[in-house]
Structure formats: structure tokens, C-alpha cells
């Protein structure tokens, strides 16, 4: 019985910590970033939702858009979806899957972690994605989210 209580205690503590990290706005500050080649673009929240749902293929000036995302189970991806796009991650995944299976579109490029996200966006003209605020530097341009 004592082993069961220890395991239960660890599970409850893990769940509480995960909830704090994933729900607290201060714990996971996320910023939307673009390649510096993207100039004068300040998409609205609805436009960001359309971009990340892959319903928009070009920037306003006609340059091609390239979208990068983290894996569905990454805490920053869940935070980005819920707090920036205001959509659940599974809803976004459903949109991508529908695009792929219907042959009408594609999914964004999935990267393994924030370091790869930063490298790929800074190296790809027209790229957009998101990273932790503490990783922001001059190799990327931050997009202000209204």
C-alpha cells in the first residue's frame, strides 16, 4: 500500500506541475517570428490562424509562405495553439489532416525542437513559426500579435 501512495503522490505532483507550466502565461512566453525577408507584415490573429491552418499560401506581397511548427505534444506548441491562435491543437491537426487526405492542401513542416525551428526560419525566406521568447535574437523578426 505505501508504494501505491508514493506513486499516486508522484503522479498528482507531476500533473500539478504540468498544469502550472502549460496554463501559466508567464511560464511559457511564446513569440511568433518570421524570417527577416518578410517585411511590413503584421498579420492579425485571424490571419495567423489562417496561416497556421495552411489556408494562406503567400504573404500580402505575393512571396511564398513557409510554415514551421513543433510536434503536437510539445508544451510550447500546445501553449501557442491555445493562447495565440485560440484553437486547440487537435483542431489544428484535424484541419491539416483534412487538407492532406482530401488532396486540397498540405501540413506545415514539423521540426523537432525550438533550436531547429529557429535555424529553419532564419534560413528560409518567407518562413513563419514560433519560439520561446528567450530564444529571440537578431536572426529573426518578431511579429506582434494583437
Phi and psi of 80, rounded to 5°?
A: -60, -50
- Percent share of the chain, pLDDT over 90: 68
Helix (H) or strand (E) holding 67: strand 66-69
CA–CA distance, 112 with 63 (Å, rounded to integer): 26
**Topology of domain 28-143, CATH:** D-Maltodextrin-Binding Protein; domain 2 (3.40.190)
pLDDT digits (tens, 9 = 90+) for 26-81: 456 899 999 999 987 788 999 999 999 999 999 988 899 999 999 999 999 999 99
Q: Is the pLDDT of residue 3 over 70?
A: no
Phi-psi label, residue 52: left if phi above 0, alpha if psi -120 to 50, beta otherwise: alpha
Q: Is the pLDDT of residue 23 over 60?
A: no
Sequence spans of domains, the chain: 28-143
**What pLDDT score does 72 carry?**
94
Mean pLDDT of 3-23: 51
**Predicted confidence band of residue 103 (pLDDT cuts 50, 70, 90):** confident
For residue 66, the 8-state DSSP code is: E
Q: Is the pLDDT of residue 127 over 60?
A: yes
Amino acid at each position: 500500500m505505501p508504494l501505491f501512495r508514493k506513486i499516486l503522490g508522484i503522479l498528482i505532483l507531476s500533473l500539478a506541475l504540468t498544469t502550472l507550466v502549460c496554463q501559466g502565461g508567464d511560464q511559457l512566453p511564446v513569440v511568433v517570428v518570421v524570417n527577416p525577408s518578410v517585411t511590413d507584415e503584421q498579420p492579425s490573429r485571424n490571419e495567423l490562424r489562417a496561416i497556421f491552418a495552411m489556408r494562406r499560401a503567400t504573404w500580402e506581397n505575393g512571396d511564398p509562405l513557409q510554415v514551421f511548427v513543433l510536434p503536437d505534444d510539445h508544451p510550447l506548441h500546445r501553449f501557442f495553439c491555445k493562447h495565440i491562435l485560440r484553437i486547440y491543437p487537435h483542431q489544428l491537426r484535424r484541419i491539416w489532416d483534412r487538407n492532406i487526405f482530401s488532396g486540397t492542401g498540405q501540413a506545415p513542416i514539423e521540426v523537432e525542437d525550438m533550436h531547429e525551428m529557429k535555424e529553419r526560419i532564419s534560413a528560409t525566406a518567407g518562413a513563419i513559426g514560433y519560439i520561446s521568447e528567450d530564444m529571440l535574437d537578431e536572426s529573426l523578426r518578431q511579429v506582434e500579435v494583437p
